[in-house]
Amino acid sequence: MHRRIFLQNSLLTLGALTLGKEQIVKVMINEPWKITMLTDNIGIFTERGGTIAFHFSKEGITVIDAQFPDTAQHLIDELKKKNEQPFHLLINTHHHGDHTAGNIAFKDLLNRVLAHENSLANQKRVAIANKSEDKQLYPNQTFGGTWKEDIGKEKIAINYFGAAHTNGDVIIHFNHANIAHVGDLVFNRRHPFVDRSAGANIQSWIKVLDSAIKKYDDKTLFVCGHSGSGYDVTGKKDMLLSFHDYLNNVLKFTNDEMKAGKTKEEILKATEIPGSPEWKGDGIERPLTAAFEELSNAG
């Protein structure tokens, strides 16, 4: 509380000194979300949950992922101020609630929600188990492998490379802008969720990242779902390579520990993945548990 007031005061002081009137008003409102334009017509929205990307065109606004109902509404209100076109298409990178719970906010705004067929199956399975089907807006268009469509002057190409963070993660590439939303296939310097209940597999995830690293070029700008404190949700190919190495290090560390006779509980006491010290903060038990289970099953 005190820290928040202090931050606001120092921002206001700074604002009064260096910003125009309109900008000072924005600082005072203290918006909880952030919109960053990556090009003239493609931007990202961050608030709570997985990073949202959006694309403006004459055919309408395309949105990738939807966070939660309340944050999706913030996005909708902001995009309506920025662009007069109607909403055209919503794409989900995968089924997790921090990417699809906000779909429902688009219920009366668009007719098309698109996702990989496994993402839809996972979303339904989880919603039925949680008795939350009335809170879902399910994809009404699905695909298995690839999907392509021209939207305005952009070509959007979606690729599915196999099981990874779930069994339904896709990469959505804006060909012309050369921007790719990779969803939760990359956690930039943050320990990932590995959703084995939805078909996740770390060994396959590493192969998926290999495919992505081959498929896109050195100029591609990647947008990922989550990042650690102080790190961006956008980056070039090195962001993918670093996370690829991290997953390899998780498997290697777990494998070495198992070979040394360590129990699962002992392995979970680790506070750092050797070789990937940049992955800090909580959640290290998530990838280690998944790696342990995966390697136990394989053995």
Binding residues (CB under 5 A) for Zn ion: these are 50, 96, 98, 184, 225
Q: How far is the CB of 175 from Zn ion (least distance, A)?
A: 25
> In the beta sheet, which residues pair with residue 235?
222
- Is residue 35 a contact partner of residue 131, using CB atoms and an 8 Å limit? no
Cβ nearer to Zn ion, comparing 41 with 227: 227
Q: How far is the CB of 164 from Zn ion (least distance, A)?
A: 10
Rounded to an integer, what distance in angstroms lies between the CA atom of residue 40 and that of residue 63? 15
Cβ nearer to Zn ion, comparing 113 with 182: 182
- Is residue 41 a contact partner of residue 57, using CB atoms and an 8 Å limit? yes
> In the beta sheet, which residues pair with residue 280?
190
Torsion over CA: 146, 36, 95, 74 (sign): negative
Q: How far is the CB of 189 from Zn ion (least distance, A)?
A: 15
- Is residue 103 a contact partner of residue 113, using CB atoms and an 8 Å limit? yes
Q: How far is the CB of 229 from Zn ion (least distance, A)?
A: 16
Closest CA to 153 of 133, 122, 174: 174
Cβ nearer to Zn ion, comparing 96 with 173: 96
Cβ nearer to Zn ion, comparing 41 with 71: 71
Cβ nearer to Zn ion, comparing 87 with 187: 187
Q: How far is the CB of 159 from Zn ion (least distance, A)?
A: 17
Residue 296, SS3?
helix
